[in-house]
Amino acid sequence: MGLKAKGISHKLKHAPPHSDEARSHHPFGRIPSLQHNGHELFESAAIVQYLDAVFSNHPLRPADVFGSARVTQFCSAVSDYIFNSVEHGVIKPRLKATEQKTSEDKIAQMLTEGVKKATEFLKALESCVDADGPFLLGKQLTWADLYLAPVLADLVATNERYIMDSVPKIQAWFARFRKEACFIETVDGTLAASL
């Protein structure tokens, strides 16, 4: 999504986490990884730092130091608190339980704590969102939007999408953001698209 938003021509190779392909570029077998000009990088923060420095066109962070640090702050909060509470606390357990044909009542009961934590963390993130938008941190599309969108795309594809009702600013932003070309053009092949 970042490469699309920055208008960088690229070849996207789909590789499920822990596949041989993912492992050949990422020592922990995760995604994403980036290959450019003979350099190979893994970890989103490193990839973002590299893209920002090498491709200064269509910057995805404000030029001022504080504004730029706020983007990093938001991305870090999404990578840690939001990713872990939503993906590991709600989505993965739901997928596992669904695979095991657990009843919907039992799944809802099993997810009570996870839903509570994810809601608490999303509410905390809501307090960091610019009220007027149209993007999460104001008038400019930034990495903040690109970090949060994939997690929420997964969440709204599950029965736990009601969590979004607790965060109206984020909910309204996501309804706008999912119409952006960089989102539409990259959703194929993701977990959200398969749910």
Ligand X SMILES: N[C@@H](CCC(=O)N[C@@H](CS)C(=O)NCC(=O)O)C(=O)O
| Smallest distance from ligand X to CB 27, Å | 12
The CA-atom distances, in angstroms, between 1 and each of 51, 100, 186 are 12, 33, 6
Alpha helices in 10-132 (DSSP H): 20-25, 44-54, 65-77, 92-99, 104-110, 112-126
* Pair of tokens at residue 135: 């993007």
| Smallest distance from ligand X to CB 105, Å | 28
Under a CB-based contact definition with an 8 Å cutoff, are residues 105 and 39 in contact? Answer: no
Under the binding rule (CB under 6 A), the answer on residue 44 touching ligand X is yes
Under the binding rule (CB under 6 A), the answer on residue 30 touching ligand X is yes
Which of 21, 43, 126, 130 touches ligand X (CB under 6 A)? 43
Q: Which residue lies nearer to ligand X by CB, 76 or 159? A: 76
| Smallest distance from ligand X to CB 168, Å | 26
Q: Which residue lies nearer to ligand X by CB, 78 or 137? A: 78
| Smallest distance from ligand X to CB 69, Å | 18
CA atoms 58, 174, 148, 36: torsion sign: negative
| Smallest distance from ligand X to CB 117, Å | 17
Question: Could you report how far apart the first and last alpha carbons of the chain are, in Å?
Answer: 20
Which of 68, 72, 79, 98 touches ligand X (CB under 6 A)? 79
Under the binding rule (CB under 6 A), the answer on residue 31 touching ligand X is yes
Q: Which residue lies nearer to ligand X by CB, 44 or 140? A: 44
Under the binding rule (CB under 6 A), the answer on residue 8 touching ligand X is no
CA distance 112 to 190: 26
CA distance 122 to 120: 6
Q: Which residues contact ligand X (rule: CB under 6 A)?
A: 17, 30-31, 43-44, 79
